[in-house]
Amino acid sequence: MDEKIKLQKIDDYRWMIPQEGKMRVPGMIYADASLLEEIRLDQALQQVKNVAELPGIVKYSLAMPDIHWGYGFPIGGVAATDAEEGVISPGGVGYDINCGVRLLASNLFRKDIQEKMKAVVDALMAGVPTGVGSKGRIRLSHQDEEKVFVQGARWAIEHGYGTETDLERTEDGGCLKGSNPDAVSDIAKKRGKEQLGSLGSGNHFCEVGFVEEVYDEKIAQVLGLEKDLITVIIHCGSRGFGHQVCDDYLKVMARVVAREGIELPDRQLACAPLSTKEAKDYIGAMRCAANYAWANRQMITHWVRETLQKVLDLSPRDLGLRMIYDVCHNIAKFETHMVNGKERKLCVHRKGATRAFPAGHEVLPDVYRDVGQPVLIPGDMGRYSFVLVGTDRAMEETFGSTCHGAGRRMSRAKAKRASRGRDIVKELRDQGVEVRGQGWRTLVEEIPEAYKDVAKVVNVVAGAGISKIVAKLKPIGVIKG
């Protein structure tokens, strides 16, 4: 338990870790009193302090209400470093580069599908590759893999896995420019060749649900959401490819830290000055992994559409499974933000955090320019998820960032102990949720109580004004790896 970190209460949703010692900036935690008690159960607050010691960090070391312990940075951490004088840290992006969430909406309503969920979930389990080490349904050639690294989701679209509208409603159009396949190791490329188009394991999932409640009718209408409408959420990332990229560059960065004489409170914060070749190489490789992840979600989207059309005996037009938005939440990007009244170019690390840009921002697709960027916050497989939009206050306070999910409150080992003797599939079915997993281990490790209540997390970011709640989604069918 992390009781030694002293916090100053700013208001009901903000808590500051005062700048002290070698901290270059204060820490700022977004949480309410009840979530703060859970946050103190691990070392996440110490990690917020540690991140505040990074060279070139500006304003704050930030933590969202779903914060929990991670590698180097806490999961739920946000930090921006000066683009010229700062550093980049793979621990501030995470192992699953561009792990993200994609929301689709259909032409169907709850009454049209509720009684068919067993068949729907069985079909999705068969149609979407899932599980530890799972392989996609295609095998990439070396040339095609490198095109994926450069083109991202567009590669998938050009090979028949979706439409241009999907790209328009994907963050960054589904592609980060400036990727560099030459900066990717052969081991990473080998891991990536067979996994494109697969969901993976752990907390990744594909979920069929419905709009249970609408909080802002006007914005929901722009997003194409209405009460009882059937939705699909896809949550996954760059699989073993992104993991290997991170692992490779953590070793590289450790050597840079020694060479440059960078003092760090935790070796897991290994980093490199943005001016160095090593930093540029990592950025190029990270962008390859981000693009791979977008192509991955795009292909899964195609197979979900294909599967639902077949099992429900519907035409593409009748199913109407269209993109609402796709956001990434493990990434570092160069962005311009106001710091102390001046515009500065920054390298913004978001690890387990979602971009939340406000209405009017130039990077938003035209369809959402007047309401703000959609923010997709999944919960656990038994309760609910939320759709929000970004705000001006997020731009002012958090570099346009917000939470990314519920956040674990129970280790996988503890979740397994808590599940002993229980039939998780039956428990969830009794609650109206049909679930499947590749094995019992995944389901017991992912029990709903292993996660914080995502409603509490969302209420904090809404209360703090860094996101606006639009709708709540309720799961009725989930597949897990």
Residues 213/471, Cβ–Cβ less than 8 Å? yes
Q: β-strand 100-109 against 205-214: which pairing, if any?
A: unpaired
In order of 230, 310, 478, the CA distances from 127 in angstroms are: 19, 10, 13
Nearest by Cα to 270 from 71, 103, 422: 71
Alpha helices in 137-267 (DSSP H): 142-151, 153-158, 164-168, 186-193, 217-223, 239-260
Q: Look-up: residue for tokens 């204060």?
A: 26
In the numeric block, which tokens belong to residue 113?
């599908």
The contacts of residue 345 (CB under 8 Å, 6+ apart) are 82, 83, 84, 334, 335, 336
Buried b / exposed e over 353-369, threshold 16 CB at 10 Å, is: bbbbbbbebeebbeebe
In order of 264, 350, 400, the CA distances from 403 in angstroms are: 26, 10, 11
Catalytic: 159?
A: no
Name the catalytic one among 243, 302, 349, 404: 404
Q: Look-up: residue for tokens 């009725």?
A: 476
Dist CA 53 CA 316 (whole Å): 52
Residues 15/7, Cβ–Cβ less than 8 Å? yes
Q: β-strand 229-236 against 205-214: which pairing, if any?
A: antiparallel
Of all helices (H) and strands (E), which one includes residue 335? strand 330-339
Phi (first) and psi of residue 423, to 5 degrees: -105, 95
Residues 443/402, Cβ–Cβ less than 8 Å? no
Nearest by Cα to 411 from 130, 202, 240: 202
Q: β-strand 374-377 against 385-390: which pairing, if any?
A: antiparallel
Q: How far apart are the first and last CA of the chain?
A: 31
Active site residues: 404
